[in-house]
Structure 1
Amino acid sequence: MVTAESPQEEKPKEKAKKKKPKLLNKFDKTIKAEIDAAEKLRKKGKIEEAVRAFESLVQRYPQSPRSRYGKAQSEDDLAEKKRSNEMLLTAINTYREVAELPDPPADLVKTTLKRRAERQQFLGRMRGAQATLERLVQIFPEDISLKNDLGVGYLLMGDNKSAKKVFDEVLGMAPNDGFAKVHYGFILKSDNEIAESIPFLREGLQSGDPGTDDGRFYFHLGDALQRVGDNSAYDWYELGHQRGHFASVWQRSLYNVDGLKAQAWWTARDTTYTDLIKTLERNWKTIRDEALSVMDASRGLFVPEDENLREKGQWGQFTLWQQGKKVDKSCRSVPKTCALLERYPEATGCKRGQIKYSVMHPGTHVWPHTGPTNCRLRMHLGLVIPATGCKIRCTNQTRAWEEGKVLIFDDSFEHEVWQDATSYRLIFIVDVWHPELTQYQRQTLSPI
């Protein structure tokens, strides 16, 4: 039996018959045959001919909204064919012109401006896209989907405050809108309003509304439930797995390459990076001593962890490589350590990882969490390890660090850390590419 506390399968909804949008005004109906002929060229992939045909129509009928829309679509297609940002800007401008003509049909205005906003976002012109979406909302104030688009646009800009306001308005108009609920819950969770986020995320996912079945929402709902001590988190992780968002209940990364070997704990031989591991273990005291030399708090070299992963305590990090790029200023402070790593591109070139020192003080607990990608493995070299009280769990296995020894795990699997010793714990973290990734994949995967 499904309760309010547990996930449920999407309920099939009766499909409302979609009305065909009305794109022709009275005048355009009189030149429909000419518009159709130009559109036929576009649909057949004769893009250059379609552009010329619609340009001719616009010259002859400058007040025809449908002709100008066809010109914008053809320019858009040509931009894609030629991979031309310049042509895409032309199309974006033409889309704007359509909505400014006298007597354009409402459906055409909506279709045109929505596409304009999408293409502006594609080019990274987020403020322009928001202006377009705001105009749409002004023209069609009762259209919930447009308000939702506006809210997402603010999220893409990193403006959570404005996004929250928009989704709040949507829920005032449509209290059961699942799309607005999951996004509102997502924002609350980002603002560390953990308990408050849960009902919005849960009810939004249970709605089965379009746009809600997204791995990020399963991820954040489960995480929020774990943080309030609710074991139904794993029901949601299981459903996220069944939906294809997670590789398993334990492995919940969202930026993945299919088919890579998946196991929580790795040995040196498993990784094929035995030379790197031997170098780290042979030189651990050098690495430790350089770390200790930069731990002076007055110099500010260790930065507090800022991903909201701690329940309590103090956790500082000092980064040497980030997303495959060397932090020169940091390496000048620990030159011997950086020199040791230079000949290991599996680490220094790992665009989906970091190389960093990590110091954790007594009384620290790191929530159960997963890393973002299955494309890396994480090595922990013990530098200063208290005799008792420090441990790390990955899936259902818990281990402890040893000074001068490397622990290796796949951080796309759930892991959790406790520091209950009486003195600090210092380790050196080295992320490496998953050994099964090809050279081409390592070169072309996007950074994280």
Structure 2
Amino acid sequence: MVITNQLQERLQEGFAKESLNAFNKILEKSIKSPRATYGRSGALLKLAELQSSNTLLQQGIQVLEVLLSNPDTPDALLLKSGLILADKQRFRGWTNRALKSLTFLNLRFPNNVDVVNDLGITNLILGRNDDAKKLFKQVLKLDADNGFAMAHLGFIIKVSDNNPAKAIPYLKSGIESGDKSAVDARFYFHLGDAYQRIGDTKKAKEVYDDGAAKKLFLSRDQRSLYNVERLTAKPWWDPEELPYQNAIETLQNNWEMIRDEVLEYFGRSGTDFINEAENLLDRGMWRQMTLYQRGERNKKGCLNVLKTCALLNNLQDATNCRRGQVKFSIMKPGSHVWPHCGPTNCRLRAHLGLVIPDGVKIRVGNETRHWKEGEFLIFDDSFEHEVWHQGNENRIVLIVDFWHPELTEHEKSALSPI
């Protein structure tokens, strides 16, 4: 099978090279031929894909940019090539150039919903959520049943505007529209979460069950989006099950030093503790200070707790998870964290209890447990989890993300950071 695939790729590459040569010859005689220019770009982009070449990708993009600037390019070809151009520019990481290309197309084709939707997505990628919202609303004026626009508009209203009740009809209609692009784990994820936040747990579970049945989620309770499917999945893990005993025992043996250092910093300043940024907090106060993220040391955070970071620096198992973090978490009394799932099943999250008052608890899956000072609680945060603080003083834990123990070294190095 591998040999067959390799031969097929060689055949495709040979055809792409022949096509490129043929289109180049046409362009030698007719330098501005729109169709030959389009063909040349297609051959370059195919070669770029087969060879994983950014150089060829950039050449293909440049040819498409020339095509868009050619006044003789027919409208149908201009529209088709412009949408391809924007897609390839985004893929290359040139999102602002994609925005420029799509703005040009939108001026030429103001009522084309594909262009306006694509422009909305590009604004969303750039964090220009208000502009994206206006564009998706524009699409719905042109095509009231456009599932792509409905789903994305609902997503913005839910995440950016923090208005789950208003987001629900858009997300629901988008998913039910039949548009394949709207049958996406992100939209099921946020529709279910929106139902949870308005108190309709039954409908939330129905959405999650539907998503799991469509293989968008690993299960109803495990709704992470970036996964390796073969990994053992269970909400709670015992420290003895992990091959990271040196890191676990070293941190537990030094928990009082870690506690005293973070308490001293928090009492003295604490300015680098920032509010939780993913809109997971229902009520109260929850702040975090990052020491390691994506396998990289956070110099600013570590300057505040030098002894803790010196300890961590010798514990590669605790700091090399590129799909996780090491951070302090402080939660004030009266806080509640919404039920939520982490982004990936490739890590296990360990909480080292530092200051644990009565009245604090965490549910993962269907089981609720309590922290203890100087001990780790270890769980798979890709499963739904929820936190309550009904005590009288701050709860403080050190969070350490470890790679899932069943990942190979090759997988760890190949997986994209989160």
TM-score interval, normalised by the smaller of the two chains:
over 0.9
Match of 1:71 among 35, 40, 52: 40
Match of 2:237 among 266, 269, 288: 266
- Residues 1:306 and 2:267 are matched in the alignment: no
Is contact 1:324-1:349 (8 Å) kept?
yes
Q: Give the CA deviation at 1:102.
A: 4.6
Match of 1:13 in 2: none
* Pairing 1:376-387 to 2, within 5 Å after superposition: 376-386=347-357
Distance 1:209 1:248 in 2: 23
Gaps of 5+ in 1: 1-40
**Residues 14-71 of structure 1 deviation map (CA, whole Å, 9 limit, x = unaligned):** xxxxxxxxxxxxxxxxxxxxxxxxxxx9967333332222111112123422112112
Amino acid corresponding to residue 288 of structure 1 in structure 2 = R
Is contact 2:13-2:50 (8 Å) kept?
no
Structure with the largest fraction of helix: 2
- Residues 1:321 and 2:287 are matched in the alignment: no
Three-state SS of the structure 2 residue aligned to 1:289 is helix
Match of 2:343 in 1: 372
Amino acid corresponding to residue 208 of structure 1 in structure 2 = G
- Residues 1:428 and 2:409 are matched in the alignment: no
Q: Give the CA deviation at 1:361.
A: 0.6
Distance 1:298 1:336, change over 3 A: closer
Distance 1:44 1:283, change over 3 A: closer
Three-state SS of the structure 1 residue aligned to 2:200 is coil
Amino acid corresponding to residue 349 of structure 2 in structure 1 = R
Match of 2:377 in 1: 407
Distance 1:285 1:216 in 2: 41
Alignment coverage as a number of residue pairs: 407
Is contact 1:198-1:225 (8 Å) kept?
yes
- Residues 1:239 and 2:210 are matched in the alignment: yes
Amino acid corresponding to residue 124 of structure 1 in structure 2 = G
Moved more, 132-141 or 422-431: 132-141
Is contact 2:330-2:394 (8 Å) kept?
yes
With normalisation by structure 1, the TM-score equals 0.87
Moved more, 98-107 or 200-209: 98-107
Match of 1:213 among 165, 175, 183: 183
Is contact 2:353-2:396 (8 Å) kept?
yes
Three-state SS of the structure 1 residue aligned to 2:85 is helix
Distance 1:398 1:46 in 2: 60
Q: Give the CA deviation at 1:354.
A: 0.9
Moved more, 200-209 or 179-188: 200-209
- Off by >6 Å, runs of 4+ in structure 1: 41-44
**Residues 141-160 of structure 1 deviation map (CA, whole Å, 9 limit, x = unaligned):** 22212211111111122211
Is contact 1:63-1:102 (8 Å) kept?
no
Distance 1:97 1:302 in 2: 49
- Residues 1:57 and 2:33 are matched in the alignment: no
- Residues 1:204 and 2:174 are matched in the alignment: yes
Is contact 1:359-1:425 (8 Å) kept?
yes
Match of 1:249 in 2: 220
Q: Percent identity?
A: 47
Match of 1:446 in 2: 416
- Residues 1:358 and 2:332 are matched in the alignment: no
Match of 1:23 in 2: none
Match of 1:31 in 2: none
Distance 1:411 1:141 in 2: 44
Match of 2:301 in 1: 330
Distance 1:102 1:421 in 2: 70
Larger Rg: 1
Match of 1:419 in 2: 389
Q: Give the CA deviation at 1:137.
A: 2.2
Match of 2:3 in 1: none
Q: Give the CA deviation at 1:88.
A: 2.5
**Residues 69-106 of structure 1 deviation map (CA, whole Å, 9 limit, x = unaligned):** 11221222233344433333332222233344454333
Three-state SS of the structure 2 residue aligned to 1:357 is strand
Gaps of 5+ in 2: 1-9
* Pairing 1:99-118 to 2, within 5 Å after superposition: 99-118=68-87
Amino acid corresponding to residue 39 of structure 2 in structure 1 = G
Amino acid corresponding to residue 337 of structure 1 in structure 2 = T
Distance 1:43 1:81, change over 3 A: closer
